[in-house]
Amino acid sequence: MIPLARRVLAEFLGTALLVAVVVGSGIMAHSLSPNDVGLQLLENAIATVFGLGVLIVVLGPVSGAHFNPVVSAAEWWQARRTGTGLSARELAAYIPAQIGGAIAGAVLANAMFDQPAISWASTERTASHLWLGEGVATAGLVLVIFGLVRAGRTAMAPVAVAGYIGAAYWFTSSTSFANPAVTVGRAFSDSFAGIAPASVPGFVVAQLAGGVIGLLLVTGLFGRPAVGARQEAVVPHPASRP
């Protein structure tokens, strides 16, 4: 059994590196293609897909590679019925690590590109259609992750989860943040991937709502999980409960 401290470290590190990939590739994309927003988005999306896939493969066996408070909360909610997965104590440890890691990742990306360590984002993302996009993106992410869990196909998670996020960059109006921790982190960098601090609460509320809808869809498609059924996401990982 992997100690909780090591799993929390994996969540902190994984979320930090994920945000560093998202923000850093956004800064690089703006530098390489300053007059082509579509190309910037493509460059940002490709880096995120590969970075996320690798992080899931490497850190998944330690902590499950959640890197996302919505995913952790969804696993905890499922665990209330099945008795397997994150406990409330573990959830309370995962979420601060994810948020702290996201902020650290943005600061790291800023430093790598010789930007101020903290440069508050100025990109306003406050509109109902963007919140709808975030709700759709997060619901789809939860459906993909827990659909794989319920189907016993978690070995496909690195490809499926990263592929979904890459696609959602393009088919959602919000470019698919789908993650409250990453949303907070991206507020710390005034770059292509940034979001103004005032826009963060609306995105987080939409993401939480999307997470609930995603779990409802999982239940509608696969039924309620049986007591004792393993529900660890994104990939199976040692938890404190059998």
pLDDT in tens, 129-167: 999 999 999 999 999 999 999 999 999 999 999 999 999
Nearest to 59 by CA among 100, 98, 87: 98
Please name the amino acid found at residue 144: V
231 is a domain residue: no
Kindly report, residue by residue over 4-21, the tens digit of the pLDDT.
999 999 999 999 999 999
C-alpha to C-alpha distance for 233 and 166, rounded to whole angstroms: 19
Instruction: Tell me the sheet residues that pair with 189.
Output: 119
234 is a domain residue: no
Q: Where are the alpha helices (DSSP H) in 113-199?
A: 128-151, 157-171, 180-186
141 is a domain residue: yes
Whether the pLDDT of residue 95 is over 90: the answer is yes
228 is a domain residue: no
Whether the pLDDT of residue 241 is over 70: the answer is no
The 8-class DSSP code of residue 191 comes to S
What is the token pair recorded at 201? 């609460």
Where in the sequence is the domain holding 136, given as residue range(s)?
4-222
Whether the pLDDT of residue 226 is over 90: the answer is no
Kindly report, residue by residue over 180-201, the tens digit of the pLDDT.
999 999 999 999 999 999 999 9
Report how far apart, in Å, the C-alpha atoms of 41 and of each of 33, 44, 51, 172, 226 are.
10, 5, 15, 12, 41
147 is a domain residue: yes
C-alpha to C-alpha distance for 45 and 224, rounded to whole angstroms: 34
Q: What percent of the chain has pLDDT over 90?
A: 88
Query: What confidence score (pLDDT) does residue 242 get?
Result: 44
The mean of the pLDDT values for the chain is 94
SS3 145: helix
Q: What percent of the chain has pLDDT over 70?
A: 97
Q: Are 97 and 182 in contact (CB under 8 A)?
A: no
CATH of the domain at 28: 1.20.1080.10
C-alpha to C-alpha distance for 87 and 76, rounded to whole angstroms: 6
Nearest to 11 by CA among 76, 138, 100: 100
46 is a domain residue: yes
Whether the pLDDT of residue 236 is over 70: the answer is yes
For 45-57, what is the mean pLDDT? 98
C-alpha to C-alpha distance for 188 and 46, rounded to whole angstroms: 22
DSSP letters for 14-66: HHHHHHHHHHHHHHHHHHH-TT-HHHHHHHHHHHHHHHHHHHHHHHHHHH---
pTM: 0.94
237 is a domain residue: no
Query: What confidence score (pLDDT) does residue 240 get?
Result: 44
Domain count, the chain: 1
The helix (run of H) or strand (run of E) holding residue 205 is helix 200-222
Confidence of residue 83 (pLDDT cuts 50, 70, 90): confident
